[in-house]
C-alpha cells in the first residue's frame, strides 16, 4: 500500500493503529494480513503498529525484524509505550473512556450518525455536551474516544440482536 495520502497530500506514516473486536478469529486474520501485507509492505515507512481490542483487552504489537519483515507479539493489557518511533508517547489504557462497547460493535448505518432527539419538552439544557455525546454513543452501540471525535467500530457486522 504505497502512495498514501492525507487531505490530498502525500503521507508516509511511521506508526499505525487498528482498533477492532477480535473475538471472531476471521476478523483477526483479516486485520493481521492487512497490517502485515499493506502497512508493513516492503518499501513502506511504517515502523510500529498496534492492534487493540478494548472489548476483549487484547493488544498485538507489530514491528519489523532485521530483514525488514513484519512480526507481531501479544502484550498484556497495560500502557503502551511507542519507544523511539514516537518518543515520549505512551497510550494510557486506563484513561481511555470507551463507553457503550459491546458485542454489537460494528453495526454501522446512516442512523448511527443521527443526533439523538431530546425527549424532554422543557427548554432547560440539563445535559452538558459531554453527557449528550455519552448518551449518543450508548444508543449507537459504538465507542468514541474521550479525547477526540473518533468512533471505534468493528470492520465486520455481527448478527446478534439485543
Greatest C-alpha distance within the chain: 66
Q: Tell me what pLDDT residue 12 has.
A: 84
Beta carbons within 8 Å of 88's beta carbon, 6+ residues apart? none
Beta carbons within 8 Å of 58's beta carbon, 6+ residues apart? 22, 51, 52, 74, 77
* Helix, strand, coil % in the chain, rounded to nearest 5: 20, 20, 55
Q: How confident is the model at residue 79 (pLDDT cuts 50, 70, 90)?
A: very high
Asked if pLDDT for residue 134 goes beyond 50, the answer is yes
Cβ atoms of residues 100 and 143 within 8 Å: yes
Cβ atoms of residues 21 and 106 within 8 Å: yes
91 or 127, higher pLDDT: 91
Q: How confident is the model at residue 83 (pLDDT cuts 50, 70, 90)?
A: very high
Residues 105, 83 share a domain: no
Determine which of 26-40, 52-66, 145-159 has the lowest per-residue pLDDT on average: 145-159
Residues 106, 57 share a domain: no
Residue 146 belongs to what domain range? Answer: 97-118+125-162
Q: How far apart are the first and last CA of the chain?
A: 38
Q: Tell me what pLDDT residue 11 has.
A: 81
Asked if pLDDT for residue 161 goes beyond 90, the answer is no
Q: Tell me what pLDDT residue 43 has.
A: 86
What is d(CA 81, CA 134) in angstroms, rounded to the nearest whole number?
A: 28
Q: What is the mean pLDDT of residues 53-65?
A: 93
Residues 80, 107 share a domain: no
CA dihedral 34, 7, 141, 16 (to 10 degrees): 40
Q: How confident is the model at residue 94 (pLDDT cuts 50, 70, 90)?
A: confident
- Planar angle of CA 144, 127, 92, nearest 5 degrees: 30
Asked if pLDDT for residue 148 goes beyond 60, the answer is no
The Cα-based distances of 57 to 14, 52, 101 in angstroms read: 24, 8, 12
- How many domains in the chain? 2
Residues 83, 148 share a domain: no
Residues 72, 22 share a domain: yes
Residues 17, 78 share a domain: yes
Cβ atoms of residues 53 and 88 within 8 Å: no
pTM for the model stands at 0.60
Q: What is the mean pLDDT of residues 63-67?
A: 94
Residue-wise pLDDT for 1-14, tens only, equals 456 777 888 788 99
What is d(CA 153, CA 103) in angstroms, rounded to the nearest whole number?
A: 11
Residues 134, 113 share a domain: yes
DSSP secondary-structure letter at 116?
P
Amino acid at each position: 500500500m504505497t502512495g498514501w495520502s492525507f487531505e490530498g497530500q502525500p503521507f508516509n506514516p511511521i506508526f499505525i493503529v487498528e482498533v477492532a473486536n477480535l473475538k471472531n478469529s476471521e476478523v483477526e486474520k483479516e486485520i493481521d494480513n492487512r497490517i502485515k501485507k499493506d502497512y508493513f509492505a516492503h518499501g513502506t515507512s511504517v515502523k510500529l503498529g498496534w492492534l487493540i481490542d478494548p472489548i476483549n483487552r487484547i493488544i498485538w504489537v507489530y514491528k519489523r525484524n532485521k530483514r525488514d519483515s513484519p512480526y507481531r507479539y501479544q502484550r498484556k493489557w497495560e500502557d503502551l509505550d511507542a519507544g523511539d518511533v514516537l518518543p515520549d508517547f505512551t497510550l494510557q489504557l486506563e484513561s481511555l473512556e470507551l463507553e457503550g462497547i459491546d458485542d454489537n460493535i460494528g453495526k454501522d448505518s446512516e442512523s448511527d450518525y443521527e443526533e439523538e432527539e431530546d425527549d424532554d419538552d422543557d427548554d432547560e439544557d440539563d445535559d452538558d455536551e459531554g453527557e449528550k455525546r455519552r448518551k449518543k454513543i450508548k444508543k449507537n452501540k459504538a465507542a468514541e474516544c474521550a479525547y477526540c471525535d473518533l468512533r471505534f467500530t468493528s470492520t465486520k457486522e455481527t448478527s446478534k440482536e439485543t
